[in-house]
Chain A
């Protein structure tokens, strides 16, 4: 799945520490040419035959023109097979998503939108090309309260956000995701319950539920640290998460990943490919990828990071076809560690088949069934290991980060 990154924003949000750049004027033609070239180069190196999804992340990729999106998709389709109906997601900001703009993106090939406040921890906006289809996620619907939005430093208003979601649903029915943020400084249980209700009235079939994280170096974190804003207590955050899980479940959503909820089967194909530890190709400044370099005769999965700074990245792409800053071959153990860490985030967990793909010799049972941490965690009701594979229980999913060190420790000793 190619993940093209569009690293530019109009304004930096107070909570964001992504690789984004606020510049007065972007030479879009040049950036476009580089995204196209890098997508072609990396797809060729990976020798991927077919792409399942493409995801345009950012920055704020909806600030790019539909022409850029079209050009990248064309490049992907030229380098590999891009089936009709492959998921193409674009991330969007409510203030840059008028119906006409969105229509342009749809015409360019986008078929799914992710409207976000706190735009994901996804690769910065290049095309993330998973060996099937490109996705562009666009839809920030985060907060629907102006005061909260101001605190978050968002440049749109609640009314704009509502309008954007409605416009998006009109154009991408059943394919519009919205972000829902909780744990804002000062947010009460009641305020959260109301926000949930309002969101359920407005939303389409996919919701990404995020606890606001105070990332170091962001304006919001500085305000909280300085005492200008209150830090929400742990127990309140846990309540909010569990309240949301229940409310969304009651509204027919499947909680298919720690932060992801979908109904009517509207799961994000692209994101699932991360959690299933499939291959993905990061394109654009600061993008990350995980794939095998078949063209170089490689047979091991590599972790690749593209150069973050856009001007340097462009120079590199122009001179050698791609701007890969670092690449590291992942050892078999490292691959399994990533598979555990990511796979347990989903409701399906890690299937025997998927585990076997990375570990043909040693089965899940061989590693986790004997006496040890995993067995204790099963007995305590946090984990399940059965014919379906290894996965968290409902309770276990909420405390996954307390389970992982024990599981990794057990894995490392095998």
Chain B
């Protein structure tokens, strides 16, 4: 394959852009069409979600991992290089969206002509707006029977202050007006402001790990040029590397001789670990340091959960699977942890619940690992008042990601919980129910705005733990699927938090301890006790299942003992089958978790917790 001479694409003929959209509004389909029109991929019926390479992405119809593609397009006699930087399409991944946007000068904002503006449309718009990017509004799916592009144009005008005549009506599926989008990209989005004559300044905006070649860093050049053999330095680590390969993504890696200012591509330079290619890092030439680009905030995990192998003998296999998977998903944080019930494992931090599910699914699909995940918890904080604890931690404010480490009220002056600003967009007939739902979740209304005559946008400040598990499902079910939801980090607020213990005959079950708001403890404790009663097998003695706050019992269920448990008939017939059952039960003793003298099957806790997610 002939190498493309990248020097024929000066800064003026380069456009760097992303497509942003609410889930299912057609972002990936539009990307497929753009790749086809520009001849980047051949036109076939099989081009579906070309940029979504992961099995989980294709199954769920979402983008998890951003991909990039360089498109070549001739417009009015000029050859343009258009770099499409794909973005993940879910709220959990807004961190990835913002880092993709940092390499762009403009975005295509796709809105479904039928569904109109949704919560994520709003969130994505503001991400682009705040980054001062040019925004090209596109109304997609105009081929649909219920399409109402006029209404959507009015929504866009009202909410985003973009004149209705700037919207392009397209059908990505049928290819209608897609060419026009490309032309608008060239006309409206400015070329990057930079110069090849300047010293090298490259932004790392993503990275992946390749087992044979090590780290592949996606870079955007804000100045200078880069080629094989160049000696470069990471502004973040100060480490020196020699460039082995540079190239562009079409969307597969295609090596080129050089990359020049304004261009987007990849680089391989003997980095062994993804941590060496820190997202947001700036690379410069050895002995020619530059002012680093403003880095990103590193990904902030919002949801934590314990992860354990189903069998401890699987520990090492799981460990290596985790290591490899986190190489490609640096937004997951990993801390070693252990639980009496579940053995050695980890406490993982995720960007959100979907992120957690996706990660788990990738472990199963790509690494064939089945794991135990504990109940998700959010990162609470405690302002310490005890001098002893302050000394112990070396600071007066700590973050609690494991309820087992929740400090007692006596040594704390204030507890803090993370909050998010949630956006709900809904047809107006569901407002009543949604407001009730939000109030049940301790949310405070911040805004209520009709975006047209029958659609409403609500903004609420939520405690994060109230939405983390099942809020989205509840919202979807009470609005027949019509309401959409998105949220952004909104800092911490003071909260009346307590630690709730679950006791079996007076002995605490460490892995069921939860941090919870005081007002919610009673109902949650009752529910947990009821579920445990259904899950723990009867034993030879009575078992008291209690929820407690400190010494105070707030809920109780009683599991009665067996008074009779013996097979009636046992003669010379087939006792082989019976022995098999008894041996299995005997073997099962090995897998029992003993809490005091109560035997609990190891999966019982998980079943109790899991059902919480399912409710």
CB neighbours of A253 from chain B (8 A): none
Does A369 sit at the interface, judged by CB under 8 A? no
CB neighbours of B590 from chain A (8 A): 409
Does A14 sit at the interface, judged by CB under 8 A? no
Chain A 219-247 per-residue mask, 1 if CB under 8 angstroms from chain B, else 0? 00000000000000011011001100000
Q: Which of B150-158, B296-304, B365-373, B569-577 contacts A (4 or more CB under 8 A)?
A: B569-577
A288 & B573 in contact (Cβ 8 Å cutoff): yes
Does B540 sit at the interface, judged by CB under 8 A? yes
CB neighbours of B565 from chain A (8 A): 398-402
Size class of A's contact patch? 35 or more
Taking the closest CB of chain B, its distance from the CB of A120, in whole angstroms, is 6
CB neighbours of A259 from chain B (8 A): 568-570
- In the assembled complex, the Cα of A282 lies from the Cα of B573 at a distance in Å of 9
Does B589 sit at the interface, judged by CB under 8 A? yes
B563 & A409 in contact (Cβ 8 Å cutoff): no
A409 & B586 in contact (Cβ 8 Å cutoff): yes
- In the assembled complex, the Cα of A409 lies from the Cα of B572 at a distance in Å of 23
B563 in complex: contacting residue of A124, A128, A242, A282, CB < 8 Å: A242
- In the assembled complex, the Cα of A3 lies from the Cα of B585 at a distance in Å of 30
CB neighbours of A290 from chain B (8 A): 572
CB neighbours of A261 from chain B (8 A): none
A282 in complex: contacting residue of B560, B568, B572, CB < 8 Å: B572
In the complex where A382-B540, A404-B582 touch, is A210 in contact with B566 (Cβ < 8 A)? no
- Which A residues from 266 to 308 make CB contacts under 8 A with B? 271, 274-275, 280, 282, 288-290, 303, 305
B566 in complex: contacting residue of A274, A280, A401, A408, CB < 8 Å: A401
In the complex where A337-B583, A341-B579, A404-B582 touch, is A210 in contact with B568 (Cβ < 8 A)? yes
A345 & B563 in contact (Cβ 8 Å cutoff): no
Number of B residues with CB within 8 Å of any CB on chain A = 29
In the complex where A123-B571, A258-B570 touch, is A341 in contact with B578 (Cβ < 8 A)? yes
- In the assembled complex, the Cα of A401 lies from the Cα of B583 at a distance in Å of 12
Does A365 sit at the interface, judged by CB under 8 A? no
A274 & B569 in contact (Cβ 8 Å cutoff): no
B569 & A288 in contact (Cβ 8 Å cutoff): no
Does A384 sit at the interface, judged by CB under 8 A? no
B564 & A121 in contact (Cβ 8 Å cutoff): no
- In the assembled complex, the Cα of A319 lies from the Cα of B11 at a distance in Å of 95
Chain A 376-402 per-residue mask, 1 if CB under 8 angstroms from chain B, else 0? 000010100000000000000111111
B586 in complex: contacting residue of A121, A398, A405, CB < 8 Å: A405
A-B contact pairs, 14 of them (CB 8 A): A3-B572, A122-B571, A122-B573, A209-B568, A211-B568, A234-B563, A238-B562, A288-B573, A288-B574, A399-B562, A401-B567, A404-B582, A405-B588, A408-B582
With A289-B572, A305-B576, A398-B564 given, name 20 new contacts (CB 8 A): A121-B570, A121-B573, A122-B573, A234-B563, A238-B563, A238-B564, A258-B568, A271-B571, A275-B570, A288-B572, A334-B579, A338-B575, A341-B578, A341-B582, A382-B540, A399-B565, A404-B582, A404-B585, A405-B582, A409-B589
Q: Taking beta carbons and an 8 Å cutoff, which residues of A are in contact with B?
A: 1, 3, 120-124, 128, 209-211, 213, 234-235, 237-238, 241-242, 258-259, 271, 274-275, 280, 282, 288-290, 303, 305, 334, 337-338, 341-342, 345, 380, 382, 397-406, 408-409, 412
